[in-house]
A and B are shown apart, each in its own frame.
Chain A
Amino acid sequence: MNTRGLRSQLKDSVPVTGMGQHVGAYGVQDTLRSGFSSVKNELLPSHALELSEKNFQLNQDKMNFSTLRNIQGLHAPLKLQMEYRAARQIQRLPFLQSSHLALDTLKGNDESISFEDILNDPAQSEMVGEPHIMVEYKLGLM
């Protein structure tokens, strides 16, 4: 069930950022990889739900951890986040499909179906990335 947080927990929600083009070296727009940019496309979301959906899971997690911290103390969210971090590392290299089984079980996603499971399955995606570039991006070398 989605968290219905108190207003006080919402102050920690993920802040609104732009539509996130890649920044290359020197913090400047990476024209080679993402093409020419236009301010309008970057700043304003084109659909009412675009921003809210991008950050939905993060906001839910923040609210849950914040409530848990208030009820049970700091150790509860710390332990949970440690487990999530450990489970997130069980995966293949970025360009291959990993099942994320441990992470799904911890988060409880194995017992529910939502649009994330039906639409845009990454295994069926039409665009394949270059393996070297994807690994470099993941390691932060790009």
Chain B
Amino acid sequence: MALSNVVETPASGFNFENVSRNVALDGLLEGGHAKAPKPMKTGTTIAGVVCKDGVVLGADTRATSGEVVADKMCAKIHYISPNMYCCGAGTAADTEKTTDLLSSNLTIFSMTSGRNPRVVMAVNILQDMLFRYRGQIGASLILGGVDCTGNHLYTVGPYGSIDNVPYLAMGSGDLAALGILEDRFKPNMELEDAKELVRDAIHSGIMSDLGSGNNIDICVITKQGVDYIRPYQESEYKDKRQRRYKYRPGTTSILTEKIVPLELEVVQETVQRMDTA
């Protein structure tokens, strides 16, 4: 139905119509007891290390929503391009969408220019996008990749700040992970040593931080290709169900059975020839 108070088509992009309504509603629901639902965060430990042959990224797999573990096997290492992967900490939806947008933009770029994108380009796109929204997009990302200029590891904060260092940790467990990295990092490490180092860093984050837990994922990016090991190590504290909760067939006994056949009669038949030339 056509409305007469709409004089132009609404602009695309973010729509701020409900903001004042949400502010007014906050605390009004059920007399102040119920609050608006919290977005799912990935209270996280993510870490990255530059080694001799490439870049190693690691992440835990727990996603929390308030004080509840929302996802025990969450994938925090996102694909950006064949030579770049990105770990994301912060609000889960924000990291997903931002990395998806980044990946799409880089794909369009590589199709129009015929070149593989460089890591600095990805970092610049992220920086522009996150600064434009002044930190309202809660995504702290660790971007690692191998391109023609070498192996790179960058971190991008929610306001668009970047840092280019050989080893990094982000998320709520970053202090614990950074302790391990500061202690044992050496420049130009071998690949296996780097994998062990990242595993230990994530492990210390899992042990010391409530927001991180469950399994450890590792992603190794080299000139030859990418090895995404998920999970690299499963948690020792997996819950073991005591019994099977599925009912086996025949649990409910059948008392009576009645079959009613549906009688269909052909009323009309039309044949239409399909032109398969």
Contacts and interface: CB of A to CB of B under 8 A. Distances in A.
Interface in A39-57: 41, 45-50, 52-54, 56
Interface stretch (A7-15, A62-70, A79-87, A114-122): A114-122
B3 A129 contact: yes
A130 B12 contact: no
A125 interface: yes
B8 interface: yes
B14 A117 contact: no
B11 interface: yes
B235 interface: no
B6 A129 contact: yes
A112 interface: yes
Contact of B12 (A1, A34, A121): A121
B14 A119 contact: yes
A128 interface: yes
B7 A53 contact: no
A128 B128 contact: no
B23 A46 contact: yes
Interface string A96-132: 0000000000000001111111111110010111110
A122 B105 contact: no
B52 interface: no
A77 interface: no
B61 to A, nearest CB: 27
A120 B12 CA distance: 5
A127 B6 contact: yes
A72 interface: no
A130 B14 CA distance: 24
B15 A33 contact: no
A133 B14 contact: no
Interface in B23-45: 23
Interface in B85-112: 101, 104-105, 108-109, 112
B12 A116 contact: yes
13 contacts: A1-B125, A2-B132, A35-B5, A53-B16, A112-B105, A114-B129, A118-B101, A119-B12, A120-B11, A120-B13, A122-B11, A122-B12, A138-B8
Interface of B: 1-16, 19-20, 23, 101, 104-105, 108-109, 112, 124-125, 128-129, 131-134, 136
Interface of A: 1-2, 22, 33-35, 41, 45-50, 52-54, 56, 94-95, 111-122, 125, 127-131, 133-134, 137-138, 142
